[in-house]
Structure 1
Amino acid sequence: MQPEVRSFFDQNTNTVSYVIFDPSTRRCAVIDPVLDFDVAAARTATKSADKIIAYIHEEELCCEWVLDTHVHADHLSALPYVQQKLGGKIGIGAKIAVTQKVFGKIFNAGTEFERDGSQFDRLFEEGDRFSVGDLEARVIHTPGHTPACVTYLIGDAAFVGDTLFMPDYGTARADFPGGDARTLYRSIRKIFALPDETRLFVCHDYLPEGRDEHRWETTVGDQKRGNVHVNEQIGENEFVAMREERDATLGMPRLILPSIQVNIRAGHLPPPEDNGTVYLKLPVNILGEPQTPPEETGPGTQ
């Protein structure tokens, strides 16, 4: 069962979105679509998502699913926009409710903001199965970066979100609210239990030193042999010590505050206030410790 996978790289956020489809039925899923956001002007745009939509129309595909691997902290999600244009059900991991409760409090969201995941059409639990055309898909709960992180295993292709990056770049950070380095290590071991030839598709690539082109496809075997943060030779305690030490040096992602308050709403903006204008909040002195500001294109999730 080898699905076709088409990738879309967003240079502004170093994010990779995917269309995966069954070549026999032409049915597809969209994974981790990006809604463009100009933070200086506080304006959204749909250029990135429109490329995905145009491709699906050109290939005469039928969209069954629009999925996020987790609540992204580095870009706004285009889930509802893609669904509006293509149809399909919106899905995410069931632990989204944990993230909604944590960040609903941080953003002082009102009672109109439901904290039960009801903004999504499908909440996936560990081991849940669904289909993309005739392709069988299975959900692996892979928390650690966030509580709601999941990996979608569709045929021989696994979409791991931020849990793993390319082997020469390592793993996701684990210091966001609800994150945990030890949990992340154990989640990665679940991925390592898949067959070595399983294709892995990552959500970001930040071009590590010594590499001059972006990459986002690897395999379980490549990760087990060569991931610079976690491979077959690195034990749990060693990984946790490395991850916690490294995370303490990282600044917050540039778009974390607008991204999360939109993404916990399944990509919808907060409701307009009584003057008809939508506002995004900036809670002050809540996240992280004072840091030297990272570079604009720096690895906010690594």
Structure 2
Amino acid sequence: MNPIIHPVFEPKTRSWQYIVACPKTKDCAIIDPVLDFDLLHFAVNTEAADFLISTVRNEGYNVTHILETHIHADHLSAAYYIQSTLWTQGQQHALSCIGENVTIVQRYFANRYNIPERELQNCFDHLFHPDETFQVGELTMTFMDLPGHTPDHGGYKIESNVFVGDTVFNPDVGSGRCDFPGGDAKILWQSLQRLLSLPPETRLYVGHDYPPNDEASARDPVSCMTVQEQNDMNKHLKHGVSKEDFIEYRTRRDHDIPEPELIHQAMQVNVRGGKMPGKSHNGKALMQVLVNVPKVLLTG
């Protein structure tokens, strides 16, 4: 039985979100939902997440799982918001899930942002171990351990579809960066080979798309390509690219990429499973923003 897949593109962060449903039972999972952050006004809003909720409602789905491929650095997770909203609307508790190596990322960023340990407890309902299977209605999904972009990164395989997060992108974009804490180009290469060794007709659903904006190659966002298309056309991975060439290019490229503009806000929320920091001020959440300054200006 093939799943029903609803790809939903969020244009501000250029993120793909997915609703994956069992056609027989109408149970579904939501993958990598986005919580909007307005940098101009430093405000969170729920437009993207509300669209997912309205789609679920219009289709008559029951959300059983909210799945994260990893702790995102470029957008805030709407997992907790969607989970809480559905609960207040009378739906059953949807399980928020991620790979078990999320604890590595949580420890690192708890130290970086002085996050109290209590705010990292029970942030997710379930942590998957590699190749663990679970049910969405009568569909069987498998968690694929795909580290390299981040140590906690994973994908979700269902029939001939894999939701790969930021492991690989569409062929004219390439592959995910590896310069986040715990990222590693050598390990990413291994994860990519695991994906590219799947049957050629397997569809790889990406976590982002960054269509070229020059007139000659401009295109609309694309949610997936097959393994065959990736092997034939991916500019970082196509046939003939060696492991050594990939690692050298990926390392050099990552050195020149600026950090995501929402990284401080995203990491402080996402390691908490989509919850805001416990501290607030006059009804607003308090977040830290780290700034590089000359040592002479540091007071403590």
Structure 2 residue ranges without an equivalent (≥5): 87-92, 294-300
**Counterpart residue identity of residue 2, structure 2:** Q
The corresponding residue for 2:40 is: 40
1:15-56 Cα shifts (integer Å, max 9, x gaps)? 110001111111100000000111232211111011111111
Inter-CA distance 22–238: structure 2 relative to 1 (3 Å threshold): same
Matches within 5 A, 1:16-35: 16-35=16-35
After superposing the two structures, state which structure 1 stretch, 205-214 or 173-182, moved more: 205-214
SS of 2:97's partner is strand
Matches within 5 A, 1:276-295: 277-285=284-292
Partners of 2:137 and 2:6 lie apart in 1 by 16
- Verify the 8 A CA contact 1:3 1:156 in the aligned structure 2: no
Which deviates more from structure 2 when the two are superposed, residues 188-197 or residues 171-180? 188-197
- Looking at structure 2, the residues matched to 192 and 221 of structure 1 have their Cα atoms a distance apart, in angstroms, of 8
* Aligned partner of 1:241 among 239, 248, 253: 248
Cα deviation for residue 232 of structure 1 reads 3.2
Partner of 1:6: 6
TM-superposed CA distance for 1:273, in Å, is: 4.1
Q: Does structure 2 retain, via aligned residues, the 8 Å contact 1:7–1:18?
A: yes
Aligned residue number for residue 101 of structure 2: 95
CA contact (8 A) 1:262 1:269 kept: yes
1:275 Cα shift? 5.8
Deviations 1:180-232 (A, max 9, x none): 11111101111112211111110111112513211121111111121101123
Residue aligning to 1:58: 58
Q: What residue is the counterpart of 1:295 in the other structure?
A: none
* Residue pair 1:158, 1:198 contacting (<8 A) in 2 also: yes
SS of the equivalent of 2:55 reads: helix
Shift in Å, 1:285: 2.5
Bigger share in helix: 2
Q: Please list every run of 5 or more consecutive structure 1 residues that lacks an aligned counterpart in the other structure.
A: 287-302
Instruction: Give how far 1:81 is off.
Output: 1.1
Larger radius of gyration: 2
Q: How many residues align?
A: 284
1:291 corresponds in structure 2 to none
Counterparts of 1:82 and 1:275, CA distance in 2: 25
Q: Distance in 1 between matches of 2:227 and 2:195?
A: 7
**Per-residue CA shift, 1:83-102, capped at 9, x if unaligned?**
12234100011100000111
Work out the CA distance in 2 between the residues paired with 1:184 and 1:274.
41
Using the TM superposition, give the Cα deviation of residue 156 of structure 1 relative to its aligned residue in structure 2, in angstroms. 1.8
Q: AA paired with 1:74?
A: D
Residue among 119, 124, 129 paired with 1:113: 119
Which residue matches 1:162? 166
Q: Which residue matches 2:266?
A: 259
CA distance in 2, matches of 1:252, 1:160: 21
Q: What is the TM-score with the length of structure 1 in the denominator? A: 0.90
Distance in 1 between residues matched to 2:61 and 2:129, nearest whole Å: 27
Q: TM-score, normalised by structure 2?
A: 0.91
Shift of 1:260: 0.8
Q: Which residue of 1 aligns with 2:298?
A: none
Determine helix, strand or coil for the equivalent of 2:285. coil
Identity of aligned residues (%): 38
Q: Residue deviations 1:133-181, cap 9 Å, x none?
A: 1111111110111111001002221100011100111001000111111
Asked if 2 retains the 8 angstrom alpha-carbon contact of 1:164 and 1:170, the reply is yes
Residue aligning to 2:189: 185
Tell me the equivalent position of 1:82: 82
How many Å separate the matches in 2 of 1:6 and 1:127?
Answer: 24
